[in-house]
């Protein structure tokens, strides 16, 4: 049985990691738990570099706190401002194993409605902006922006699962060489 530490206590992220590992390694048993870990980036990361750094920092922090864990997983959501005034969102996933190998991936991206993007540009974290615009509470631990905007056709958890699976490619194919983050 392998221990997996997700660098978050958000059940959406913990469940996404659990599902992703189960899909990629169906014949293995895992114990998955969440643990708070600092990202080292602003609460609402902007741009690929900052968002990826947040996921990597979280995974590394969890690894340092749990050196015997088989894997640690960092998931960080971020936004990008575009020249036309629009804003897109996505998340980065970083998976580390105790041997020092790394896998990383990015979710698909989608554009925010102006009503939400204006609040984020004003300094509000995306989850709080979603809650205000959609009249919800703590949506980031439920279906998130993607769920609110798709009518739950795609939930935040499912949105992250695909990126977790993609970040696990190097671990599924250890005989191949993959680039570091």
Euclidean distance between CA atoms 23 and 42, whole angstroms: 32
Helix (H, G, I), strand (E, B) or coil at 96: strand
pLDDT digits (tens, 9 = 90+) for 15-52: 999 999 999 999 999 999 999 999 999 989 999 999 99
| pLDDT, tens digit, 9 for 90 and up, residues 103-149 | 999 999 999 999 999 999 999 999 999 999 998 888 877 888 999 99
**Average model confidence (pLDDT) for the chain?**
94
Q: Read off the pLDDT of residues 79-101 as tens digits, 9 standing for 90 and up.
A: 999 999 999 999 999 999 999 89
Rg (CA), the chain: 16
User: How distant is the alpha carbon of residue 175 from its chain centre?
Assistant: 26
Would you state the pLDDT for residue 139? Answer: 82
Model pTM? Answer: 0.93
Q: Note the pLDDT of residue 181.
A: 55
CB proximity list for 156: less than 8 A, separation 6 or greater? 12, 140, 142, 143, 144, 145, 146, 147
Statement: residue 163 has pLDDT above 90: yes
> Residue 2's pLDDT is what?
81
């Amino acid at each position: 049985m392998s221990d997996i530490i997700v660098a978050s206590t958000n059940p959406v992220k913990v469940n996404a990691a659990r599902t992703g590992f189960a899909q990629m390694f169906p014949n293995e048993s895992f114990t998955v738990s969440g643990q708070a870990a600092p990202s080292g980036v602003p609460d609402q990361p902007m741009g690929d570099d900052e968002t990826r750094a947040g996921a990597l920092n979280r995974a590394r922090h969890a690894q340092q706190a749990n050196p015997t864990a088989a894997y640690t997983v960092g998931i960080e959501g971020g936004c990008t401002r575009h020249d036309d005034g629009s804003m897109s969102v996505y998340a980065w996933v970083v998976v580390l194993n105790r041997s020092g190998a790394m896998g990383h991936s990015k979710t698909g991206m989608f554009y925010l409605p102006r009503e939400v993007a204006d609040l984020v540009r004003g300094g509000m974290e995306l989850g709080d902006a979603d809650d205000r615009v959609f009249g919800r509470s703590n949506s980031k631990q439920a279906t998130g922006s993607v769920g609110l905007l798709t009518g739950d056709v795609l939930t935040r958890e499912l949105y992250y699962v695909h990126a977790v699976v993609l970040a696990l490619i190097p671990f599924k194919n250890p005989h191949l060489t993959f680039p570091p983050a």
